[in-house]
Structure 1
Amino acid sequence: MKETTSTGKNVEDAVNQALRELETEKENVEIEILDEGKKGIFGLLGAKPAVVHVRLKETPVEQVLSYLRNIIEKMGVSPGLQFEEHDRTLHINVTGENLPLLIGKRGQTLNALQFLTQLAANRYYPHYERVMLNIGDYRKRREEALTRLAERLSAQVLRTGRPVKLEPMPSYERKIIHSALAHHKQVITYSEGNEPKRYVVIDLAKR
């Protein structure tokens, strides 16, 4: 139960009744007074009970998920949202039909959704909470594709002796490229440019 309507001899009594039903404390709820009630003559004649509607406040994660669900539904998709939280990171996975619509070309729509969801988290959480949004198994497939790309381009750099600039990527995708070649002794990677057009450069390691 997340909300209830309760009555009592006065507003305080009605609220306390609602808190008992919801098994929570006053700071965790939103209270709407529907009727303040009436004491009546001598406390009895013409008395009218107070009526309140009490609703549990949404947690930050519930607010973020509601925000994301609303956006996706406006795109014509009915999403299933799975989440887990650890190390101040909210991992959200979207399931359902028509998922390619939510991914977009090279994940551009997905990245935009993640950006908007991060803004929502910044608003609703009392502390900084990082958001990682995934749709189906796209992130895993993208990581595998970027790792293969890093290996192929590093071979090209070794063959030609010239650096290679990759297309602009969000920070977590750049990290995949850096990690894929971190232990490569013959090439180095570094980032250049400004967000959102920051990109990775693969170059020969200095000898």
Structure 2
Amino acid sequence: MKKLVVRGKRIEEAVHNGLAQLGVSEDRVKVTVLEQPSKGLFGLIGVKEAKVELELLSDGIDEAIRFLQEVSTAMELTVSVERLDENDAVRLNITGSDLGILIGRRGQTLDSLQYLVNIVANRHSNRHLRIVLDAEQFRERRRQTLEALSERIATRVMRSRKEIMLEPMTSQERKIIHARLQAHPNVKTYSQGDEPNRRIVIALR
């Protein structure tokens, strides 16, 4: 934890000075008053400024990154974690070698890690955080794969005139297919079944 000792004529001024130096808001620090201000004799002799210590607290994202690094070390992987702030989420992209074990079959291990990372982050945050976990742009590659799959299946449905049920997918993956075919003129999509075996069905309109 980063600590900073600052002074000011009043405690509030000292805290304000410290926050300006750290570039954070007051909810990100723990304030400890080390010395109370004193006006001294006639306001001239023995004047003492306030002295406070500001301790920068870790936020949820910091804790999430630390958790990821600990998990990677336990798996004997050397990784780097890049933070990207997006509109409604924070994307943590893992880079390194041999990341297949972190991704798992069709991203299942990555999804499980993402679930845990969100729990860790929100445990250390006073506001709700949504973290998207990625590894070597797997999410984008998977999105492209699912969109291509949805187009192929839509073509098969039109040719056979029979609905086709896909394999079980996560809600995020189902959203990709629903979105891709939402405006399709000839087919429609709907979900069927219960988690974790909920599936998309592609059928004629």
Change (3 A) 1:26 1:85: closer
Counterpart Cα distance in 1 of 2:108 and 2:118 = 15
Instruction: Report what 1:91 is aligned to.
Output: 91
Instruction: Report what 2:126 is aligned to.
Output: 126
**Amino acid in structure 2 at the alignment position of 1:168:** P
Task: Say which SS state the counterpart of residue 68 (structure 1) adopts.
Answer: helix
Counterpart Cα distance in 2 of 1:88 and 1:120 = 18
Aligned-pair identity in percent equals 34
Task: Say which SS state the counterpart of residue 94 (structure 1) adopts.
Answer: strand
Counterpart Cα distance in 1 of 2:187 and 2:122 = 38
Change (3 A) 1:182 1:88: closer
Counterpart Cα distance in 1 of 2:155 and 2:181 = 11
Instruction: Report what 2:2 is aligned to.
Output: 2
Alpha-carbon contact 1:64-1:124 (below 8 Å) kept: no
Instruction: Report what 1:163 is aligned to.
Output: 163
**Amino acid in structure 1 at the alignment position of 2:76:** G
Judge which range, 122-131 or 185-194, deviates more. 122-131
**Amino acid in structure 1 at the alignment position of 2:172:** Y
Counterpart Cα distance in 2 of 1:170 and 1:55 = 41
Count of matched residue pairs: 181
1:194 CA drift (Å): 2.1
1:55 CA drift (Å): 4.2
Change (3 A) 1:185 1:115: same
Instruction: Report what 2:39 is aligned to.
Output: none
TM-score when scaled to structure 1?
Answer: 0.73
Task: Say which SS state the counterpart of residue 183 (structure 1) adopts.
Answer: coil
**Amino acid in structure 2 at the alignment position of 1:156:** R
Where do residues 27-176 of structure 1 align in structure 2 (5 Å cutoff)?
28-29=28-29, 55-176=55-176
Counterpart Cα distance in 1 of 2:142 and 2:200 = 16
Instruction: Report what 1:204 is aligned to.
Output: 204
Q: What is the alpha-carbon root mean square deviation over aligned residues? A: 3.2
Whether 2:177 is the aligned partner of 1:177: answer yes
1:101 CA drift (Å): 1.4
**Structure 1: runs of 5+ lacking an equivalent:** 7-15, 33-52
CA offsets per residue over residues 100-150 of structure 1, 9 Å max, x none?
111111111111111111222332232222211110021111111111111
Task: Say which SS state the counterpart of residue 133 (structure 2) adopts.
Answer: strand
Alpha-carbon contact 1:88-1:128 (below 8 Å) kept: no
